[in-house]
Structure 1
Amino acid sequence: MTRPDQPACTEVSDEALFGPEAADYARYRPGLPDGAVHLLAATQHGVPAPVLLDLGPGTGQVPRALLPVLHRLVHIDLVDVNASMLQAARAALEPLRGACTVDTVTGAAHTFAPAAPGRAPTLITCSRAFHWMARSEVLSMADRVAAPHAVVAIMGDGSLWTHEAQWTAVLRELIQSYLGADRRAGTRGTYSGPGRSFQDDLADSPFSEVAEHRFPVSRAWAPGDVLGYLRTTSFARPALFDGRHPEFEAAALQLLQYHAVGGVLKEDAVFTVLLARRPGGTA
């Protein structure tokens, strides 16, 4: 069965950041490339009863992709500061999970502890969210809770803010004309990047054996879908615009339609997966 939320950890649910946009997040955020999904599943080869711990799951993209491929998955823990996201993820997993149990934990990733013995994660994933976390503390937590041969997978592919194309450049300029030159970061002011690479974070952690896997992806965006995606981001979510969001979306739609070729805006990106194990493992 799918179990109810565990009590919140030291951080309360951050509904102010993405709570109202959970439905848009599920609809407009790109999923994982098939190659990345099969890579994650392959890390569990020979594991009799895989357990997944997904940190910052959003609306559950990682377990939704894994369940049809990794049929032996017996338990999933989802940890997020946003209760609305967890509720959406749990609902999305219900028709897919079969006999796999699911727990949701509202709280900060680094404070997670398994709710019951025998649930040491064999795969710990974090997709497009590691930069928001207390990264060294998260990796210390992973070392405390993970099975001896567990794999940590840190994944991501940037965003339309960082993607370099003519249409994303003019879109970024439009956002800056409303919100200022610095990239906004939701309720936390501005965002300047993680300061050091995730590879360095992993190298200084117990999971220091790291292999990098890169998956080129090509996406075709409709202008309206880009607007939906922007509503889910920390740099262009509606609450940042102080009542001017309808005006911004009208201007953005006009701009995107102008730059679309045959109604399509092309994004060529690379989805990167860092697989990390404790020394002696095989990443």
Structure 2
Amino acid sequence: MTRPDQPAAAAASDDDLFGSETADYARYRPGLPDAAVRLLAATQHGVPDPVLLDLGTGTGQVPRALLPVLRRLVHIDLVDVNQHMLETALAILGPVRGSCTVNAFSGEAHTFTPTAPGRAPTLITCSRSFHWMSRAEVLNMADRVAAPNAVVAIMGDGSLWTHEADWTAALRGLIQTYLGNDRRAGTRGTYAGRGRSYDEELADSAFSDVAEHRFPVARAWRPEDVLGYLRTTSFAGPGLFADRHHEFEAEALRLLQGHARGGVLKEDAEFTVLLARRPGGDA
């Protein structure tokens, strides 16, 4: 898996990274590929009462995708440092959770403590957020709370900052004219370089039996949707531009419209899922 960039400093709240507006996050962030969702569900075959722990849940994309496929889920724990995100996730899951119970934990992932007795997670997921966390501590926490045959799934597919295409390169260049050459990491600083790969982090953890799965993803973006997505990111959120955000969005829209073909901007991405187990667990 591609090595994640390491933020210069951990944020106390991802309001600093992504802002407090969750509507754009829920609307514009790409979901999980169907094949990845089916893979996650398959890890729970034979588990009588699956329990999901979703770290860095955001607006609850992972549990929302899993609930219709893994109908036997009995409990979900949502973890995020952003209370606004948790409230949105709870609202989104409410109409679809059925008899599945849901708890929300506001805090850093490695500080999570289960509040539902007898609900040890059998599946721990972390999608597009592991790089923001204290990863070794998170994996130690997972070892403490997880069921004996639990599966840890670390997932991601980069971002429009890292994607290589003519239109993303031009967009990245425009962002840099406003914010400087270094990729921003919210209002707290910039990325400091590359850290250890997720594979290396897992190899040093209790969940050292790792299988990698890659799923190609083709996306078609409208220019307006790209702007909505950018508002949810740590590298181009509105708070980074101060009073120039409207100016930036107008210029970015013109740039994206110039690159669009038939009103569409194409992204060919790859969604990677690392499934990790304790040695000796089920394959």
TM > 0.5 between the two? yes
Aligned to 1:92: 92
Cross-structure match for 1:177: 177
Q: What does 1:163-202 align with in structure 2 at a 5 Å threshold?
A: 163-202=163-202
Q: Give me the whole-angstrom Cα distance separating, in 2, the residues matched to 1:193 and 1:152.
A: 26
| Structure 1 equivalent of residue 135 of structure 2 | 135
Pairwise CA distance, 1:125: 0.2
User: Counterpart of 2:245?
Assistant: 245
- Contact kept, 8 Å, 2:52 with 2:76, in 1: the verdict is yes
Give runs of aligned pairs for residues 197-236 of structure 1, distance below 5 A: 197-236=197-236
Q: Quote the residue 1:75 is aligned against.
A: 75
Aligned equivalents of 1:126, 1:99: Cα separation in 2: 23
- Residues 159-214 of structure 1, C-alpha deviations (whole Å, 9 max, x = no match): 00000000000000000000000000003300145511000000000000000000
Distance 2:241 2:221 in 1: 23
Moved more, 190-199 or 237-246: 190-199
Q: Is the 8 A contact 1:186 1:235 kept in 2?
A: yes
For residues 266 and 83 of structure 1, the distance between their equivalents in structure 2, rounded to whole angstroms, comes to: 33
The offset of 1:282, in angstroms, is 3.3
The normalised TM-score by structure 2 is 0.94
Deviation, 1:281, is 1.3
**Residue matched to 1:257:** 257
Inter-partner Cα distance in structure 1 for 2:66 and 2:193: 29
The amino acid that maps onto 1:230 is L
Give the equivalent residue in structure 1 for 2:66: 66
Decide whether aligned partners of structure 1 residues 233 and 22 sit closer, same or farther in structure 2, where only a CA change above 3 A counts: same
Q: Contact between 1:19 and 1:85, CA under 8 Å: does it hold in 2?
A: no
Percent same amino acid at aligned positions?
78
Q: Distance in 2 between matches of 1:67 and 1:194?
A: 35
**Structure 1 runs not aligned, ≥5 long:** 1-10
1:125 corresponds to which residue? 125
RMSD (Å) for aligned C-alpha atoms: 1.2
Higher relative contact order (CA closer than 8 Å, sequence separation 6+): 2
- 1-structure distance, mates of 2:77, 2:21: 22
Number of residue pairs the alignment of both structures matches: 273
- AA of the residue aligned to 1:146: A
> Any idea what the Cα deviations from partners look like across 1:90-113, whole Å, max 9, x if unmatched?
100011100000001100000001
Relative to structure 2, which stretch is displaced further, 181-190 or 266-275?
181-190
Query: Tell me, what secondary structure is at the counterpart of 1:143?
Result: helix
Cα distance in 1 between the residues matched to 2:269 and 2:147: 33
TM-score under structure 1 length normalisation: 0.94
**Aligned counterparts of 2:269 and 2:13: Cα–Cα separation in 1:** 31
